[in-house]
């Protein structure tokens, strides 16, 4: 069975959207300590912005059947950048006193 680039982009883009929604809802509705709730809100804003810059354009391009390789690259960029940002956050918080 051969999956074309458009179908792969749509599947990955929808998984990006689900991941973005889960992280955003979790961060906006978290019952964190009032001193750290700003970090949760910031994480939700960053993840939503990242999806708007990568995942949403990928889905739009796939829907319009335009630039399939670019759309796939954008769809794959969301989880890759998310992981890099998560690792950076962990490293930064480990370095704090």
Q: Which residue stretches of the chain are H helix? A: 5-28, 37-53, 55-64, 68-95
pLDDT of 26-79, one tens digit each? 888 877 777 778 888 888 899 999 999 999 999 999 999 999 999 999 999 999
Which structural domain range is residue 14 located in?
A: 5-95
CB 39 within 8 A of CB 71: no
pLDDT category of residue 2 using cuts at 50, 70 and 90: low
pLDDT number for residue 12: 94
Total domains in the fold of the chain: 1
- Is 1 in a helix, a strand, or coil? coil
Rounded distance between C-alpha atoms, residue 94 and residue 88, angstroms: 10
């Amino acid at each position: 069975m051969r999956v074309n680039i458009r179908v792969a982009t749509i599947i990955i883009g929808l998984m990006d959207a689900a991941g973005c929604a889960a992280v955003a809802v979790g961060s906006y509705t978290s019952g964190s300590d009032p001193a750290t709730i700003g970090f949760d809100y910031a994480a939700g804003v960053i993840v939503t912005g990242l999806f708007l810059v990568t995942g949403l354009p990928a889905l739009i391009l796939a829907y319009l059947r335009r630039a399939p390789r670019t759309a796939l690259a954008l769809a794959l960029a969301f989880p890759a950048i998310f992981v890099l940002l998560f690792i950076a956050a962990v490293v930064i918080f480990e370095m704090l006193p």
